[in-house]
């Protein structure tokens, strides 16, 4: 299965915790559910032109909620924490 790099990385995750991780060279992305570490590493290297040291994956389960007598489960997601080599940064996260 050949998936394009832009379809692999869905969006960057920007929160207080991920912003603190950026100071240590770690960037967080929401990725496709069928993506693996090797695909994510090559996608980051090709799209941003940086050297990736490691990739960690987090599978987040959907959060159960109750609406009256109905119980539903929120959407599941997959996140990747990408650690760049020393001295590398991503420009996508820099503010304007």
Is 92 part of a structural domain of the chain?
no
73 inside domain: yes
> Domain range for residue 83?
5-87
Domain of 34, CATH number, reads 3.30.70.330
Per-residue pLDDT tens digits for 2-36: 677 778 999 999 999 998 999 899 999 999 999 99
Model confidence at 90, pLDDT cuts 50, 70, 90, reads confident
Span 70-90, mean pLDDT?
93
Give the model confidence (pLDDT) of 40-67 as tens digits.
Answer: 999 999 989 999 999 999 999 999 999 9
| Distances, alpha carbon 52 to alpha carbons 11, 43, 60, 61, in Å | 18, 10, 23, 27
What local confidence, expressed as pLDDT, does residue 2 receive? 66
Q: How many structural domains is the chain composed of?
A: 1
Q: Please report whether residue 95 resides in a domain.
A: no
User: pTM for the complete prediction?
Assistant: 0.83
């Amino acid at each position: 299965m050949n998936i394009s790099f832009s379809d692999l990385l869905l969006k960057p995750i920007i929160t207080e915790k991920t912003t603190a991780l950026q100071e240590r060279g770690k960037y967080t992305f929401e990725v496709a559910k069928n993506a693996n570490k090797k695909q994510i590493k090559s996608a980051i290297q090709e799209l941003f032109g940086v050297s990736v040291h490691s990739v960690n994956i987090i599978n987040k389960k959907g959060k159960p909620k109750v609406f009256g007598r109905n119980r539903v489960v929120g959407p599941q997601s997959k996140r990747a924490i990408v650690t760049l080599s020393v001295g590398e940064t991503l420009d996508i996260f820099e503010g304007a």
